[in-house]
Amino acid sequence: MKKRGHESLSTKRQRIRRFLVIVSFLLFPATFYYLSPYLGRVIKGSLILLTMVFISVLFL
């Protein structure tokens, strides 16, 4: 039987999850700003690669 004064383990986990989700939501702009130079390179590289694949499919 559960005691009335204690939180269950699942409730405690839900509170921790909620806290982490709120913190990550608040820190998302800072994280995105910090990683934006790398994301730009990745997006440009993938665009170049997909363009090359598309062109090679047309000619092969």
23-46 per-position pLDDT tens digit: 989 998 888 888 788 878 888 888
Could you give the number of structural domains in the chain?
1
In-domain check, residue 37? yes
The answer on pLDDT for 22 being more than 90 is: yes
In-domain check, residue 47? yes
The two three-digit tokens of residue 38, written as one number: 């790398």
In-domain check, residue 30? yes
The two three-digit tokens of residue 52, written as one number: 């090359």
- pTM of the model as a whole: 0.50
In-domain check, residue 35? yes
- Helix and strand tally (H, E) in the chain? 1, 0
In-domain check, residue 39? yes
In-domain check, residue 3? no
**Structural domain span for residue 14:** 9-60
DSSP secondary structure code for residue 5 in this structure: T
Q: How does residue 52 score in pLDDT terms, banded at 50, 70 and 90?
A: very high
